[in-house]
């Protein structure tokens, strides 16, 4: 049960340990090298997603307007 609202939690295939492990493996192999590649070319913009949604949205809009 959910700790906050006490509703029944649903487990999806995406929540299984093997699925997470496979996705992390793909990330390390295919995605992580792209981050380094685009950083080198000065084409990567990093946005802190630990901020309120409206701040994140403003940053994204700013990036698209200035590039």
- 3-state SS string for the chain: CCCCCCCCCCCCHHHCHHHHHHHHHHHHHHHHHHHHHHHHCCCCCCCCCCCCHHHHHHHHHHHHHHC
CA 46 to CA 56: how far, in whole Å? 11
Q: pTM for the whole thing?
A: 0.57
Each of the 67 residues of the chain gets a pLDDT tens digit; together they read 899 999 998 888 888 999 999 999 999 999 999 999 999 999 999 999 999 999 999 999 999 999 8
């Amino acid at each position: 049960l959910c700790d906050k609202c006490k509703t029944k939690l649903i487990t999806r295939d995406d929540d299984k340990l093997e699925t997470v492990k496979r996705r992390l493996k793909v990330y390390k192999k295919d995605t992580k090298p792209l981050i380094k590649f685009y950083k080198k070319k000065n084409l990567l913009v990093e946005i802190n997603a630990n901020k309120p949604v409206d701040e994140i949205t403003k940053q994204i809009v700013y990036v698209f307007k200035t590039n």
